[in-house]
Structure 1
Amino acid sequence: MLTPNLPEDQLQSRPRGTAGCADEERLRLIQQATGVGTWDWDIPGDRVVWDDACWAMLGYAPREQALSYEQWKALVHPVDLRAIEPVVQQEIEAGGRFVIEFRYLDASGRWRWVQGRGQVVGRDAAGAPLRMVGTHTDIHEARTAQEEARALYERLNKIAAHVPGVVYQYRLWPDGRSAFPYASEGMRAIYGVAPEAVAEDASAVFSVIHEDDLARVGESIRRSAERLAVWRDEYRVRRPDGTLIWVEGEASPEALEDGSILWHGYIRDVTDHKALALAQAADRQRLGNILWGTGVGTWEWNVQTGEARFNERWAEMIGYSLAELAPVGIHTWQRFAHPDDLAASAERLAEHFSGAADTYECEARMHHRDGHWIWVLDRGRVVSRTADGRPEWMAGTHLDITARKTAELRLQHLAHHDPLTGLPTRSLLADRLHHAMAQAHRRDDLLAVAYVDLDGFKTINDSYGHEAGDLLLKTVASRMVGCVREGDTVARIGGDEFVVLLTDLAQRADAAPLVERLLAVCADPVELGLQVMQISCSIGVVFFGHGDQIGVDELLRQADQAMYRAKQRGRNRWEAA
């Protein structure tokens, strides 16, 4: 994390890969589309390597140099650094992963919001962390939109405070009694009664509601109390002078311990304030546009009847308009959700319904109209229950997290695969070897470990350069994968060292043709322009079968020793341990 004025001589060099393979191109395109960059931190070496996308999201030109930890700190907002540094240090020690949001200083001198994710992927024998990898995601636009939405909400509150009308609390007891524990002076202007006159008995207010509207108003209050849903209504009031006015009201309920319901709300005269109503409707539309910009789909679900409501954005996430999905219901969600994820969703819902979880949350895949799957973060909670306590209405959101899930899967792949050849690394090889050894015990068959070291690779690097060496390594790796069987594993464990795991062997002689093919493909020439590169390899082979008592490390050590014997006896050959 370099500031623009940091001297170049304080930077540490980092090597840049020259693979240029299809996977890397796809990752680059994904990063451009989603604003996700990757980083790699060599903890003991104090080297943090950013990819080009990390630099680009802050407006810097890509840099070949790695950062020190102190240089990274220089880019982070001081307030945010105090908050996130303990989190990062704690996760380094604990071995977990972190998700943090903070601001970086960009190339223009402004602070830009970024979401950082990281995970320790390597430790030494004593458990000390060696390596952490992670991503940077540009969330500046989303955070800015949230702050704009918050400012708009505060502005709307200020407008409402100056709107003529009554601000009040209304309380309804289980026995039917009701009162206005608090009402502003607007009570007198709207209903023609003093606030203190209805502090213990609300009947004076209901007595002036138009007789044709009274029953409907009472029913809307009852439904709001039953569902703990926001109350909204518009009705007529007969003034003391006999004139009728239209009023509009809105209030939010809460259940109190004694069983009563308390609403907090306002009622205003809309007869003379249509212009103001239109202005506020426009403000609400702008607020809706801001929320739309965050890409959130909303849903409501009646758990008992299956009725469901979705906003337009929910449908757009999967390539449809809401009209095209009509009629909608819970079956709409079930139709597009991945079957495996529906099972997980049902488990999370059961936990929430039982009270074991305060909210419902599940990551699920949904089938897009174009045929691919997208990932959504599905969140919600029960907002009302039936009289016997069963969940009734539930509300929540869907957030498209496809980009994040793609980046996470890419990180998992990078943690276990060689970035140059795409082959498994030592850690993944060890996992597969453990599994194969256990399988050999159960099936009473053999496996072979072939330790392959390229002969003359250093000469290629010295003569033709590292670019040629990389091309040679990728070519040889591809050839070795092509000459083994589908269930076998080819791994790269060092610069020019490979290990091939051969499984399901009935006898030792079955390995010989496979090993001979490995010798042959390594000896095939590799063309580089007008140049032809020629190498060979030395291979050490060790066998493992039923009854053998040896660990993975010892098995690899014996194969390594056999490989050195092959080198000592002339190279371009193989020796068995």
Structure 2
Amino acid sequence: MLTPAEPDLVSPQSSLDIADTQDRSAQEALRESEKRMALALSGSATGVWDRNVTTGEIHYSSGWKAILGYAEHELSNRIDDSYERLHPDDRAYVKSTIQAHFDQQTESYEVEHRIRCKDGSYKWICSRGKVVSRDSEGRPLRMVGTTTDISAMRAMSDKLQHTVDLMTSLTDEVPGLVFQYRLMPDATSFFSYASAGIRDIYELTPEQVATHTEAINALIHPEDLAAYRSSFDLSAANLTPWHCEYRVQLPRQGLRWRQGDAKPRQLEDGSTLWHGFITDVTERKRIEAELQEFATVDYLTQLPNRRHFMMQIEAELALIQRTGDRCAAVLMCDLDHFKTINDRWGHAVGDQALKHFATILSDQLGETDLAGRVGGEEFAVVLSGADIAEATAFARQMQQRIEETPLLAGDQRIPLTVSVGVAAMHANDDSAHSSLSRSDLALYRAKKNGRNRIECH
């Protein structure tokens, strides 16, 4: 009869061997883990601390002590001593932050502050910790955390901040607005940077344009707003430099001229970023206007000078030649006996006579008519759309006005009359000089036939 096989039995000694092997493996793994942790903490300039809140003791790892330059045995475990190592300017802040965590106002404790090293210097550190046990009433019992040396990072941060402060100071001192402007793909726009000069250029603050540009658009002169916007659109479309001269109407400064210049750059999100400068060019515009006036206007009579009048009359001839159905009349006017006026009453009275006639002439002109001083006492007129008969009527009315509005020098009446030659401007004229020559011939006849007359060519 066969008996069943007996199961294999493991002796108690064998079970102990297995347990011992597993324990040694676990201990070795733990030591390896602790070694890795120690290497990680050492490599990151981080130390560990463990605080007994009840007894007022705090224990530091050797790595923590090494951060401050202390050996293993050189630091006490009293929490009061640790507070003495804090920079005086940071002590109250650190204590209040710890207390806030003790009072469960924060999930954890984290603070950056300065701490005194063994050699008396100060380092910047970042301490992080958390209460890990409390009593039944919520009072903290134990707090564990880490401390990391962040001196190098703070030094770099301070250097960067110094650079930023320097650049900000430089841009703020520049007369005008240094800016960074961004146009998003959805057409929204804002100034991601605006120097202090925005207060003078737009009478706004950087904060008012940091998210939108409506405040600036509201200040731009309505006649210039479309051109201002399209200049940015064109610059963005072609990535060409932005340049624009435009007017702004400011609450305090009134009407002013601005000039903007910037270079665009396309960003990965499809937006366009400009770096540029806006300056006040009001004075330059004023000078340009004055120079333009000096170049085109006769100072004494405030009528166009000969050069500018000839440009205007050439434009009128070109319009007649282009349309083919327009007409115009040209009048040459000469003050009679002007030399006698100068000789008898002086050049000051002669100047008054010229201004007096120019005023009468200007008052008669229509919106499309032209007039200019083309010589000493000679004036030319172009009546747009007028024929010879209408031009003759204009000349008669002008003579009548001179008679009805005498020139007075003190209590003396200065005799003033005008001779006029009239001619038509033709589409087949080679230049404006042709019609002027014809009216000049007619003027010569008027002078020859007794003055204060009107003759037609």
TM tier, shorter chain?
0.5 to 0.7
User: Do the aligned residues in 2 keep the contact of 1:208 with 1:238 (CA within 8 Å)?
Assistant: no
Partners of 1:522 and 1:210 in 2: CA distance:
104
Contact 1:300 1:395 in 2 (8 A): yes
Is the CA contact 2:331–2:391 (under 8 Å) kept in the aligned structure 1?
Answer: no
Q: What are the superposed Cα offsets for residues 387-432 of structure 1, whole Å, 9 maximum, x if unpaired?
A: 36x3454332221111111211221222111111110122322232
1:540 match: secondary structure: strand
Alignment of 1:398-417 (within 5 A): 398-417=278-297
Matched with 2:216 is 333
Cα deviation code 1:124-171 (max 9, x no counterpart): xxxxxxxxxxxxxxxxxxxxxxxxxxxxxxxxxxxxxxxxxxxxxxxx
Q: Which residue of 1 aligns with 2:258?
A: 376
Instruction: Using the TM superposition, give the Cα deviation of residue 553 of structure 1 relative to its aligned residue in structure 2, in angstroms.
Output: 0.9
CA distance in 1, matches of 2:319, 2:244: 35
SS at match of 1:411: helix
Greater gyration radius: 2
Query: Among 354, 360, 377, which residue is 1:473 paired with?
Result: 354
Q: Match for residue 361 of structure 1?
A: 243
Identify the residue that residue 34 of structure 2 maps to in structure 1. none
Listed as ranges, the matches of 1:4-43 within 5 Å are none
How far apart, in 2, do the equivalents of 1:478 and 1:205 lie? 94
1:207 is the counterpart of 2:80: no
The residue aligned with 2:123 is 245
CA gap of 1:239–1:379, structure 2 versus 1, over 3 A, is: farther
Matched-pair contact (CA < 8 Å) for 1:484–1:514: no
Aligned to 2:55: none
Q: Within the alignment, does 1:520 sit opposite 2:430 as a pair?
A: no
SS of alignment partner, residue 303 of structure 2: coil
Gap change, CA 1:381 and 1:544, over 3 Å in 2 = closer
Deviations 1:178-201 (A, max 9, x none): xxxxxxxxxxxxxxxxxxxxxxxx
Q: C-alpha distance in 2, partners of 1:345/1:380?
A: 13
Judged with a 3 Å threshold, the aligned counterparts in structure 2 of structure 1 residues 382 and 445 are, in CA distance, closer, same or farther, namely: closer
Q: In structure 2, which of residues 162, 166, 178 is the aligned counterpart of residue 298 of structure 1?
A: 178
Matched residue, 1:576: 456
Corresponding residue of 2:104: none
Cα distance in structure 2, aligned partners of 1:495 and 1:206: 95
The correspondence for 1:565, drawn from 445, 451, 454, is: 445
Report 1:156-305 matches (<5 A): 207-208=44-45, 245-246=123-124, 288=169, 292=172, 294-304=174-184
Quote how far apart the aligned CAs of 1:487 are: 2.4
Shift of 1:348: 4.2
Distance in 1 between the 2:236 and 2:368 partners? Answer: 45
Give the Å deviation of 1:558. 1.4
Residue type at the aligned position of 2:221:
H
Corresponding position of 1:422: 302
Report deviation, 1:292. 4.8
1:205 and 1:409 map into 2 onto residues whose CA distance is 73
> Which residue does the alignment assign to 1:431?
311
In 1: Cα distance, 2:349 partner to 2:332 partner: 23
The whole-number CA distance in structure 2 between the counterparts of 1:296 and 1:317 is 6
Decide which of 311, 314, 326 is 2:198's aligned counterpart. Answer: 314
Q: 1:530 maps to which residue?
A: 411
The reply to whether residue 501 of structure 1 matches residue 382 of structure 2 is yes
- Relative distance call for 1:394 and 1:356 in structure 2 (3 A) is closer
Do the aligned partners of residues 236 and 517 (structure 1) sit closer, same or farther apart at CA in structure 2, a change above 3 Å counting? same
C-alpha distance in 2 between matches for 1:277 and 1:446:
73
2:232 alignment counterpart: 349
> What does the per-residue CA deviation read over 1:36-78, in whole Å, with 9 as the maximum and x for residues that have no partner?
xxxxxxxxxxxxxxxxxxxxxxxxxxxxxxxxxxxxxxxxxxx
Partner residue, 2:337: 456
Normalized against structure 1, the TM-score is what? 0.48
What secondary structure is seen at the aligned counterpart in 1 of 2:352?
Answer: helix
Shift, 1:343, TM fit = 4.0
1:447 aligns with 2:328: yes
Q: Look up the equivalent residue of 1:432 and give its one-letter code.
A: Q
> Compared with structure 1, are the counterparts of its residues 317 and 539 closer, same or farther at alpha carbon in structure 2 (3 Å cutoff)?
same
Aligned-residue offset at 1:366: 1.9
Amino acid paired to 2:124: W
CA distance in 1, matches of 2:152, 2:237: 38
Contact 1:362–1:377 (8 Å) recurs in 2: yes
Distance in 1 of aligned mates of 2:349 and 2:152:
78
Distance change >3 Å, CA 355–CA 515, structure 1 → 2: closer
What is the distance in 2 between the residues matched to 1:395 and 1:237?
Answer: 39
The 1:314–1:451 alpha-carbon spacing in structure 2 relative to 1, beyond 3 Å, is: same
Query: 8 Å contact 1:380–1:397 — kept in the other structure?
Result: yes
> Helix, strand or coil for the counterpart of 1:423?
coil
**Once superposed, what is the RMSD of the aligned Cα atoms?**
4.2
How many correspondences in the alignment?
322
Q: Secondary structure at the match of 2:293?
A: helix
The question of 1:482 aligning with 2:363 is answered: yes
Output the amino acid matched with 1:423.
L
Secondary structure of the equivalent of 1:307?
strand
Using the TM superposition, give the Cα deviation of residue 575 of structure 1 relative to its aligned residue in structure 2, in angstroms.
Answer: 0.7
Read off the aligned partner of 2:198 and give its amino acid letter: W
Distance 1:448 1:237, change over 3 A: same
What is the TM-score of this pair, normalised by structure 2?
Answer: 0.59
Counterpart amino acid of residue 330 in structure 1: T
Change in Cα spacing, 1:392 to 1:482, as seen in structure 2 (3 Å) is closer
How far apart are 1:496 and its partner, in Å? 0.4
* SS across alignment from 2:367: coil
2:351 alignment partner, SS class: helix
For 1:420 and 1:210, the matched residues in 2 are separated by 89
Structure 2 letter corresponding to 1:307 = F
Cα distance between partner residues in 1 of 2:288 and 2:435: 33
Segments of 5+ residues of structure 1 without an aligned counterpart are 1-202, 212-234, 248-265
- Aligned-pair distance for 1:454? 0.8
Which one-letter code corresponds to 1:467 in the other structure?
A: A
Q: Aligned equivalents of 2:411 and 2:318: distance in 1? A: 48
Letter in 2 for 1:314: I
* The one of 372, 397, 400 aligned to 2:277: 397
Contact in 1 for aligned 2:115/2:123 (Cα 8 Å): yes
User: SS at the partner of 2:375?
Assistant: coil
In 1, are the aligned partners of 2:117 and 2:123 still within 8 Å (CA)? no
Report what 1:104 is aligned to. Answer: none
Specify the alignment match of 1:214 in structure 2. Answer: none
> 8 Å contact 2:239–2:264 — kept in the other structure?
no
Shift of 1:509: 1.9
* 8 A Cα contact 1:450 1:542, kept in partner: yes
Q: How far apart, CA to CA, are the structure 2 residues paired with 1:548 and 1:326?
A: 59
Cα separation, partners in 2 of 1:277 and 1:311, compared to 1, 3 Å: closer
